[in-house]
Amino acid sequence: MKIIKSASLDGIDALSICVESSFTKGLPSFTIVGLISTSIQESKDRVKSALLMNGYRFPPLKITINLSPSDIKKKGTHFDLAIALQIALYDIKKNIFKDFHVFGELSLNGEIKDTYSIFPLVLSLVKNKGIKKILVCEQSAKKISNIPNLEIYVVKNIQDAIEFFNKDDKLGFKYESSELKYETIKINDEKFYYDKKYIDDFIDVIGQDNAKFAALICAAGNHNLIFEGSPGCGKSMISKRIKYILPPMSLEEILEKAKLQALDYKEIDFIPLRAFRNPHHSSTKSSIFGGGSTNAKIGEIALSNNGILFYDELPHFSKSILEAMREPLEDNKILISRVNSKTEYATKFVFIASMNPCPCGNLLSSIKQCRCNEAEIQRYKNRLSDPFLDRIDLYVVMNDSSKDSKNIVCSKELHENVINAFIRQKNRAQSELNGKLKDEDIKRFCILDDESSQLLEKAIISYELTFRSINKVLKVARTIADLNDNENITKNDLLKSLSFRRR
């Protein structure tokens, strides 16, 4: 029995699927089995049309196609090509499909098309070393050619695919891998990519020097950040510019971002610009964390992995959403459990939020009068619990910006500082940037000099710092030290870090 290998998505990962076939005597029929979805069931008509319009006749036999293993739910139109090849080449006895994975949707005239799921499927299989060679259309090949350690072969239509497997020499079908053409830096034999385009530039932000410095720290070390200030002081303006000054991306991170774009039904790009997700405060819990009645579906926090998750008007998000944020902020992962599935998502994002100081927004304004009473302000503040706020590295209170402020800095300058700090962190052999360091790594990398050690002891008592808060202070201080080009954390670095703690 000949087997053609394909794959199906299970959450965000791929499961290898074997497309098997049998041709037995009986009334002519065509059946696909193996716990299949409607999209696969409908492939019978696409396969029939594609083969008949290209001069291939269905054998007068009972045709059964099985997608194995049969106890796993399968979906996707990319099985069309594998099913058609099983029928068109049914009379060939030798296993001509060995080592190949086949993906492609068929049009009614036999042309092969790309689908959104092919890229995440192939990337997942390559990561798990479950794929060597692949046959796809040219549109799919352009996307997956950036994936390393993969032989790609291209066909245009069903006739080319049949010819491909009938030939011993397949070099004419081979697709050459491409190289990303962006600015690069090389650290410890690994390439990191970044882009110099700043569509939204910090040069547009007038004043707010402390907030801009906090944004620089946030970008350089992947630290969580909250801005509090009156409406119009620049909270959202600064937040939306941080994504352009984030650290360079490895090829693995760029491919992971493209995978998430495909799973979100977005056009894939390979720009080394990290994701920026900003769900509205009226979003449901399942849309943010992922969910579904039977199969777990990807949500905003998973789609923002390796990027930024931005909450505007933070206190207006539901209490259940804010409290549920504690796990992904602390562990950088989340497990979504449903009756038929359990899916774990990586959530290594930078969390940025903005909020007003009171319900009317004018408590800190030097121009407008606050209309809220003490009870309303306290109720507004109480929407954010202490355990949630304890997971925030930087808390910045912003005042009204002065019109005659002249301290202007551009995104290019900030980005260069971030890249320099990034290089320092990588040269210390850190597996994660400062903001995501594990507890055991903090002792190794966040080294205090004698003066700063004494200062921290006093700060623990004065600020009533928890163990988590101490670690946050140390991680922020480590990033400030990197920006100041200091080998160890100095007293000034620690003082600046403490100034960003919520009072």
Helices (H), 382-449: 386-389, 411-427, 439-445
Question: Closest Cα partner for 323 from 396, 394, 386?
Answer: 386
210: its two tokens: 């402390």
Examine the pLDDT at 221 and tell me if it is beyond 80.
yes
Look at residue 11 and tell me whether its pLDDT is greater than 90. no
Residues 388 and 395 sit within 8 Å (Cβ to Cβ): no
Q: Tell me how far CA of residue 368 lies from CA of 31, 76, 164, 362, 400, in angstroms.
A: 72, 57, 73, 6, 11
> Is 14 found in the same domain as 148?
yes
For residue 19, the number of C-alpha atoms closer than 13 Å in the C-beta half-sphere is 28
Residue 182, domain member (yes or no): no
User: Is the domain of 331 the same as that of 220?
Assistant: yes
Q: What's residue 102's pLDDT? A: 94
Whether 384 and 257 share a structural domain: yes
In a domain, 181, yes or no: no
- Kindly report, residue by residue over 362-387, the tens digit of the pLDDT: 998 888 899 999 999 999 999 999 99
pLDDT above 90 (res 55): no
**Residue 96 falls within a domain, yes or no?**
yes
For the entire predicted model, the pTM comes to 0.90
Domain interval for residue 196: 187-422
Residues 220 and 335 occupy one common structural domain: yes
Radius of gyration of the chain (CA): 27
- Mean per-residue pLDDT for 454-465? 90
CB contact at 8 A, 151 and 134: yes
455 and 325 in one domain? no
Please report which confidence band the pLDDT of residue 310 belongs to, taking 50, 70 and 90 as the band edges.
very high
User: Quick one: average pLDDT of 333-354?
Assistant: 85
Same-domain pairing of 315 and 380: yes
Domain presence at residue 387: yes
State which of 422, 454, 470 marks the end of a domain. Answer: 422
Instruction: Report the pLDDT value the prediction gives residue 296, as an integer from 0 to 100.
Output: 62
pLDDT of residue 293: 58
Q: How far is CA 278 from the centre of its chain?
A: 14
pLDDT the model gives residue 405: 63
Instruction: Report the distance separating Cα 392 and Cα 309, nearest Å.
Output: 13
Q: Are residues 78 and 221 in the same domain?
A: no
From 359, 392, 422, the end of a domain falls on 422
pLDDT score for 370? 93
pLDDT grade for 265, boundaries at 50, 70 and 90:
confident
Instruction: Compute the mean pLDDT over every residue in the chain, rounded to the nearest whole number.
Output: 90
- In this predicted structure, what is the pLDDT of residue 292? 65
Peptide linkage before 328 cis (omega within 30 of 0): no
Q: Are residues 59 and 197 in the same domain?
A: no
Question: What confidence score (pLDDT) does residue 207 get?
Answer: 85
Q: How many domains would you assign to the chain?
A: 3
Q: Is residue 66 predicted with pLDDT exceeding 80?
A: yes
Selected residue with higher pLDDT from 308 and 57: 308
Q: Choose the final residue of a domain: 175, 199, 231.
A: 175
pLDDT in tens, 92-101: 777 788 888 9
Give the residue with greater pLDDT, 483 vs 207: 483
User: Do both 204 and 324 map to the same domain?
Assistant: yes
Are 399 and 266 in a shared domain? Answer: yes
- Owner of token pair 């700060």: 459
455 and 414 in a common domain: no
pLDDT in tens, 391-444: 999 999 998 765 556 678 999 999 999 999 999 999 999 999 999 999 899 999
Distance CA 447, CA 443 (A): 7
pLDDT above 60 (res 278):
yes
Q: Are residues 168 and 275 in the same domain?
A: no
Q: pLDDT tier at 334 (50, 70, 90 boundaries)?
A: confident
Q: What's the pLDDT band for 89 if we cut at 50, 70, 90?
A: confident
